[in-house]
Structure 1
Amino acid sequence: MQDLSPQPLRDDEIDLVELIQSLFRQKYLILVVAGLVTLAAAAYAFFATPSYEVQSVLRPVEQGRLDELNGTGIYQLSPDEALGRVAVGLSSYEARLQFFRDHQALFAGLPDSGRTLEQAFEEFNRSAFSMLQPDPKKTNNLSGYVGLSLTYPEGVDGVAVVNGLVSAVIQAERQRVAADLQVLIANRLAALDNNIEAARASYEASKQAQIAALLEEDALRKAQLRDELQALRVELQTRRENRIKQLDEATQIAESLGINKPTTPSAMADARGQGQVYRTEVNSREIPLYFMGVQALSAERQALRERESDDFSEPRIAEIEKELALLGNNRQVEILERRKDEDLYLKDLAQWRQEAAQLKGIRFDSEDLQLVRIDRVALEPLAPVNPKKVLVIGLGGIAGLMLGVFLALVRNLMRTRGGKVSSTQ
């Protein structure tokens, strides 16, 4: 049968009632420790250097605010892109450092520990500045914004720092946009000048090529006509020489027949009584030259030998000489060479000059450019964010009570062990 009688407590078991009684007996120790810790926390809360937090929030502007810039035709900037550029400037370490250098009076409250200007700003920038941006997981376009938050110690003009840095970044971005616009205009003007010069060079080359082609065509035609003229003259000379030879033969025949003056076969037949015979022989062909008689044949032969030129006997020679005379001056070449304002003949020149005039006429004032809309400017904070006095004092009280209880437990444990050792002895 099981023994249900109470068992004595073992030495290592804790009597909860006795523990609570022990803590109650040491309540003054607990209260003193808790009071001291709470007092220390209160001293820290009231005497620690307070830090403050300010914020500035920027949002995209309306599309119309950028119409003047986009209206130039060579620079396009959307409201979101403008906000992004300002956000990059606000997060830029270089921009913040430059503002720190230019406005050191605003940071006079920073502790001076013998560090360089860059080292002091590095520590301040790491812990003080933070960017405010919407959650990238949200796709609501109405939530687009960017902000700058600054946590600063007492003695630093945080409001002026945030507002001044925002203004400096916006102004720097305005100047950067204006500089980019001027670069684009200069590059486009240079491209137009290059196009015009290239068109002029191309036109000059094409004109010279056209002149060369015309002159070459004329030269070829002249050479062909001269060859034809020479061939015709050789042919005429050959004809004349052949004619002289024919006349020589006919003269010999006429002399042998005793024909001195021109006659006909019929007349000779009548004179000699043999007309029927001659008619039969000569009716089927031309009358031979020797019937012209020695006198006529000799006269023609003498004239042919004394002839200096046969050109008059061929009409084609006159036509060739006329065409050669016309080819002596190419009027189209003369007109091309006499052109004065050759830019008038350049294709697209008017369009390029119009575009260049429009680019040169752009007058853009970056001071009137509104890149972002300041939705919230930094204002003087109503209270510091650190230290939070009530929270610090409350945590100090709780920590003091816990420390007091811990010390009371340790003290009670030491007494218990000391009593056991004495009883054992």
Structure 2
Amino acid sequence: MVWQQKVLILFVTVLVGAVVIACAFLVRPEYQVSSVLRPAAINELDALNRSEIYQLPPGEALIKVGASLESYETRLGFFRANQKLFSKFERPGRTLEQSFEEFNYNSIKLVIPDAKKSGSLSEYIKLEMNYPEGIDGVAILNGFVQYAIASQRQQITADMEVIVKNRLSELAGRLDAARSNYDTDKAARIATLSEADDLKRAQLQDELKALRAQLKTQRGDRVAQLNEAIGIARSLGIQKPATPSSLGEAGSRGSQQVMRTEVNNQQIPLYFMGVDALLAERAALLQRKSDDFAEARIGQIAKELQLLLANREVEILKLRKNEDLFLSGVQPLRAEEVRLRNLNVDMSGLKLVTIDREAIEPLGAVKPKKVLFIIIGLVFGLMLGLVVAFVRGTVQNRREGGLDAALLPRSSSFAKKNLLASVDGK
């Protein structure tokens, strides 16, 4: 039954195949390009890592670039900076962001393989882009990769500048703290020295005053002793210096002159000096205006007071001009400050990743697959033709069966009439 309708089957198959083939050739072709990024060599990031400011291993740099490639902000920035490349995505009545959404949602895909599942020997990032005919996908993808790398490089440069600035501010703060401590120590040292001088000066002045009072008292006591001795010497008639033995023999021997030597460990009373000597000493004491020469310590005190008029250490401390030279423990801070100010890392030539494969013009479209479309269309047309032929044959059979059933009663009644007529004729 189906074979009898082979023409119908062939017709349906050809018709469906023609429609599918037309669709395959009328659908706008879609192409695909890809780019592969791998970690940069260690020496490419050596200058940055040696700066001791920003540590960036190659694997981490690749992750940062991958995050930049996936960033909505980076993609929108590239879209805005290269609107000529995306003119085909623009539609009347659409905003720039809406046109970008179409591109961002349907076009670019970031592929990060799982090393455990794929068995890859090294890390890499793959970026795929699907685009319709008439768009320069190669320029878009390669430009986007370069834009993302440059964007990440600028971000690292900005981070470096902020870190260096913060560290310089921290060093400046620590140096200011060291200067403040130095000023405090210096002021405390000057105060300590001045206080010590004031204390020493006051002690010496007190000692000088006490010594002068002591000498004055001693002079008064000496005058009193001399007055008493003068009275005794006058009563004894001792006009000139004498000794106890000479005084005893003066009245017994008359004019006999005798020279004696007397050894005595007893102190001879003062009146034996005689009235003349005692009066002379008293007169000298009464005429004395100062007793300072009588005590050697007074001269030494005057010397020490003179030295205390000026503290040379305090003067030197106050005359210091470049006080930063005397700060203690700041040499490492200054060295670090100089190092940071002279830090010269060429960020413009910093290679964050290695572009293992750039996007190139594809050999053919990935969509639609025309051969597959044609095969599927022919198979579907054949199946549809078979179904149509089967349905048509079934319908025809049912109609024929109904017609036979309607004709059968009429033929049987006609046969009966013929049979009766033949019987009657006999």
TM-score (norm 2): 0.81
Match of 2:368 among 362, 384, 387: 387
Is 1:376 paired with 2:357? yes
- Corresponding residue number in structure 2 for 1:296: 277
Is 1:339 paired with 2:335? no
The 1:111/1:419 distance shift into structure 2, 3 A limit, reads: farther
Structure 1 position 94, deviation (Å): 1.3
Equivalent position amino acid for 1:169 in 2: A
2:25 and 2:149 map into 1 onto residues whose CA distance is 39
- Corresponding residue number in structure 1 for 2:35: 56
The 1:390/1:122 distance shift into structure 2, 3 A limit, reads: same
The 1:411/1:248 distance shift into structure 2, 3 A limit, reads: farther
Any conservation in 1 of the 2:45–2:352 contact (CA below 8 Å)?
Answer: yes
Equivalent position amino acid for 2:294 in 1: S
Equivalent position amino acid for 1:166 in 2: V
Structure 1 position 161, deviation (Å): 0.7
The 1:258/1:157 distance shift into structure 2, 3 A limit, reads: same
Structure 1 position 57, deviation (Å): 0.7
1:411 and 1:239 map into 2 onto residues whose CA distance is 160
Structure 1 position 105, deviation (Å): 2.3
1:302 and 1:329 map into 2 onto residues whose CA distance is 41
Structure 1 position 316, deviation (Å): 0.9
Equivalent position amino acid for 2:95 in 1: T
2:275 and 2:401 map into 1 onto residues whose CA distance is 187
Equivalent position amino acid for 2:224 in 1: K
Structure 1 position 159, deviation (Å): 1.0
1:284 and 1:372 map into 2 onto residues whose CA distance is 113
2:387 and 2:214 map into 1 onto residues whose CA distance is 144
Is 1:144 paired with 2:123? yes
Equivalent position amino acid for 1:322 in 2: K
- Corresponding residue number in structure 2 for 1:95: 74
Equivalent position amino acid for 1:372 in 2: V
2:104 and 2:311 map into 1 onto residues whose CA distance is 82
Say what the alpha-carbon RMSD is for the aligned residues: 3.3
Greater C-alpha radius of gyration: 2
Name structure 1 gaps, 5 residues minimum. Answer: 1-20, 275-281
Structure 1 position 364, deviation (Å): 4.0
Structure 1 position 421, deviation (Å): 9.1
Is 1:238 paired with 2:217? yes
- Corresponding residue number in structure 1 for 2:179: 200
Any conservation in 2 of the 1:109–1:154 contact (CA below 8 Å)?
Answer: no
TM-score (norm 1): 0.81
For 1:341-365, what per-residue CA distance to the aligned partner results, in whole angstroms no more than 9, with x for missing partners?
A: 3333334666555544444444444
Equivalent position amino acid for 1:203 in 2: Y
Equivalent position amino acid for 1:315 in 2: A
- Corresponding residue number in structure 1 for 2:18: 39
The 1:140/1:39 distance shift into structure 2, 3 A limit, reads: closer
- Corresponding residue number in structure 1 for 2:245: 266
Any conservation in 2 of the 1:57–1:148 contact (CA below 8 Å)?
Answer: yes
Structure 1 position 136, deviation (Å): 4.5
Is 1:133 paired with 2:112? yes
2:157 and 2:90 map into 1 onto residues whose CA distance is 39
Name structure 2 gaps, 5 residues minimum. Answer: 254-262, 407-426
Structure 1 position 397, deviation (Å): 3.1
The 1:110/1:326 distance shift into structure 2, 3 A limit, reads: closer
The 1:68/1:202 distance shift into structure 2, 3 A limit, reads: same
Equivalent position amino acid for 1:305 in 2: L
Structure 1 position 47, deviation (Å): 0.8
Instruction: Return 415-424 or 330-339, whichever deviates more.
Output: 415-424
Match of 1:400 among 381, 394, 397: 381
- Corresponding residue number in structure 1 for 2:304: 323
Equivalent position amino acid for 2:116 in 1: K
- Corresponding residue number in structure 1 for 2:188: 209
2:384 and 2:252 map into 1 onto residues whose CA distance is 182
Match of 2:208 among 229, 249, 253: 229
2:390 and 2:224 map into 1 onto residues whose CA distance is 163
Residues 351-362 of structure 1 aligned to structure 2 (within 5 Å): 352-362=333-343
Is 1:122 paired with 2:101? yes
- Corresponding residue number in structure 1 for 2:256: none
Is 1:366 paired with 2:347? yes
Equivalent position amino acid for 1:40 in 2: V
Any conservation in 2 of the 1:74–1:184 contact (CA below 8 Å)?
Answer: yes
The 1:141/1:195 distance shift into structure 2, 3 A limit, reads: farther
2:173 and 2:97 map into 1 onto residues whose CA distance is 47
1:249 and 1:186 map into 2 onto residues whose CA distance is 93
Is 1:67 paired with 2:67? no
Secondary structure of the 1:205 match is helix
Structure 1 position 30, deviation (Å): 4.5
Equivalent position amino acid for 2:61 in 1: A
- Corresponding residue number in structure 1 for 2:420: none
For 1:60-93, what per-residue CA distance to the aligned partner results, in whole angstroms no more than 9, with x for missing partners?
A: 1211122333344433322222222221111111
2:266 and 2:249 map into 1 onto residues whose CA distance is 19
The 1:356/1:283 distance shift into structure 2, 3 A limit, reads: closer
The 1:413/1:264 distance shift into structure 2, 3 A limit, reads: farther
Secondary structure of the 1:340 match is coil
1:103 and 1:42 map into 2 onto residues whose CA distance is 37
Aligned length: 397
For 1:214-265, what per-residue CA distance to the aligned partner results, in whole angstroms no more than 9, with x for missing partners?
A: 2222121111111111111111122222222223333333344444443222
- Corresponding residue number in structure 2 for 1:311: 292
Equivalent position amino acid for 2:351 in 1: Q
Structure 1 position 184, deviation (Å): 3.5
The 1:111/1:310 distance shift into structure 2, 3 A limit, reads: closer
Instruction: Return 232-241 or 261-270, whichever deviates more.
Output: 261-270
Instruction: Return 396-405 or 239-248, whichever deviates more.
Output: 396-405
The 1:294/1:414 distance shift into structure 2, 3 A limit, reads: farther
Equivalent position amino acid for 2:149 in 1: I
Equivalent position amino acid for 2:211 in 1: L
